Chains A and B, each alone.
Chain A
Amino acid sequence: MMPFAYSKPDSIEQAVQQAGPDARFIAGGTNLLDLMKENVERPSRVIDITGLPLGEVRATPLGGLRIGALVSNAELAWHPEVEARYPLLSQAILAGASPQLRNMASTGGNLLQRTRCHYFYDPAVPCNKRHPGSGCPARDGLNRQHAILGASEQCVAVHPSDLCVALAALDARVLVHGKQGERAIPFADFHRLPGTTPEQDNGLAQDELIVAIELPQPRFVARCRYLKIRDRASYAFALVSVAAGLALTDDNRIAELRVALGGVAHKPWREAELEQSMHGRPASRDTWADFADQLLRDARPLEHNAFKITLAKNAIIRALSQAQAAEEQP
């Protein structure tokens, strides 16, 4: 690791004031330190935000939940309110990383983790995300793990988070604090597609710090499922993951449906309008297959990842079938 200066501000305002182009905030550090050891990240200053009062999970006046940015992944997954009212979130978190990493990694940091594209991690090769304009060896290289949706000529990387896929499905908001004050970003707008500027994973300004995630009132408590498909049974990134939520009418038709995909794009993949168009359709395997076909209609494979399109379709069908079969809770 390159030497760097270290500070530990006492307030959000101080932290934001200390931000800058050569500085990085650190909380859990599980991704940042890894990248610093590889010289992918070389900040000259590291701002330790673990002294800030952002470690709380509390109910919002509107019946939702506000999750402080410093709440660890393990605390969040096992928080009684989350287990009882947002089981999709618990399932997604526990499908990711290892118990050690979940004890360390923060909620805010999870959103900001970088892609695990091998080429991004290797400073000896070009990468448009690391060095804009240098090229993308993944596009014609080892791209089995890479994107099938929303990719660009410049970048085919995928976002690695499981937590974010559930947050996308649950319509979370990201609360950020910057020098200009605080703003709330709908989760669907937080991460971005690579386009011609893959170096930008999200729309945060340099001085902005994630302070909390806000969840609306619980939905799909009974009928939800996070299904993650990976190369081994545990402790691996998703090839494809599905966060599915379902509400059914008395005659077994779709009242509401949510599906977010992980492992397939530069951000969690969701189409709210397509979901709404399914309302009133019978809850059946044929409906799930039709929905999957439509959600994947623009999928474009690279040389080594065509299997992901079939895998995604089958994972969507399975996740929705399992959500449908889930028992109503008392």
Chain B
Amino acid sequence: MSDVPTEPSTHPIGLQINGNLHQLQVPPWLTLLDLLRDELDLVGSKKGCDHGQCGACTVLRNGRRVNACLTLAVMCDGDELTTIEGLADGDRLHPLQQAFITHDAFQCGYCTPGQICSAVGLAREGRATSRAQIQEAMSGNLCRCGAYSNIVAAVEEALPHMGGPRL
């Protein structure tokens, strides 16, 4: 390490977001969520509580689901990120997106991008298969409309269709 900054300054980072490389200069206090929404116009990820309690900001960081609101952008240098905007294959919806429509798994839709990204992470973890396990493993995503039963049904239906590289 060449120098240790003692004054606030910006830092260069490189991120792979939904397959696209972004070279950016960021202040260290910028959260990943604010970077996505305010700087890159990727507004699918939502700001609900901004404290890691609601899960509306859930994205995939190097394949793992995380709360973007509690992640500093500067700490993501070199990482691969997937947001809700990166799940569909052109006009072909991701199996979870289709399952959410099939099961009417949302009302206002505000929590939905986070729910879907969280469920993609859940599938990748490979730990939850039963309905009860899915409920537990989705507990980091709140839905104030109370669409939980349909959300769990959607995840349950989509799980078997989510093997393979598109995760």
Interface residues of A (CB under 8 A from B): 1-10, 14, 18, 26, 29-30, 33-34, 36-37, 44-46, 48, 50, 74, 78, 97-101, 103-104, 233-235
A175–B16 Cα gap in the complex (Å)? Answer: 36
The minimal Cβ–Cβ distance linking A12 to chain B, given in whole angstroms, is 13
Residue from the list B4, B28, B51, B52 in contact with A100, Cβ < 8 A: B52
Instruction: Give the residues in chain B near A9, CB-CB below 8 Å.
Output: 1, 4
B80 at the binding interface (Cβ < 8 Å): no
Listed A/B pairs (29) with beta-carbon separation below 8 Å: A2-B29, A3-B27, A4-B8, A5-B5, A6-B8, A9-B1, A14-B1, A26-B72, A26-B75, A29-B70, A29-B72, A30-B52, A33-B71, A34-B51, A45-B5, A48-B74, A78-B127, A98-B139, A99-B65, A99-B122, A99-B125, A99-B137, A99-B139, A100-B58, A100-B121, A101-B140, A233-B136, A234-B139, A235-B140
Residue of B nearest to A28 (CB): B70
Cβ–Cβ contact A104 & B66, under 8 A: yes
Instruction: Give the residues in chain B near A33, CB-CB below 8 Å.
Output: 31, 70-72
- Given A26-B72, A30-B52, A99-B140: A5 and B122 interface contact (C-beta under 8 Å): no
The minimal Cβ–Cβ distance linking B133 to chain A, given in whole angstroms, is 11
B11 at the binding interface (Cβ < 8 Å): yes
The minimal Cβ–Cβ distance linking B157 to chain A, given in whole angstroms, is 20
Instruction: Give the residues in chain B near A29, CB-CB below 8 Å.
Output: 70-72, 75
Instruction: Give the residues in chain B near A46, CB-CB below 8 Å.
Output: 28
Residue from the list B75, B118, B122, B141 in contact with A48, Cβ < 8 A: B75
Interface residues of B (CB under 8 A from A): 1, 4-9, 11, 27-29, 31, 50-52, 55, 58, 64-67, 70-72, 74-75, 118, 121-122, 125, 127, 135-137, 139-141
Q: Which of A37, A74, A233 neighbours the largest number of chain B CB atoms within 10 Å of its CB?
A: A37
Q: Which of B75, B125, B136 neighbours the largest number of chain A CB atoms within 10 Å of its CB?
A: B75
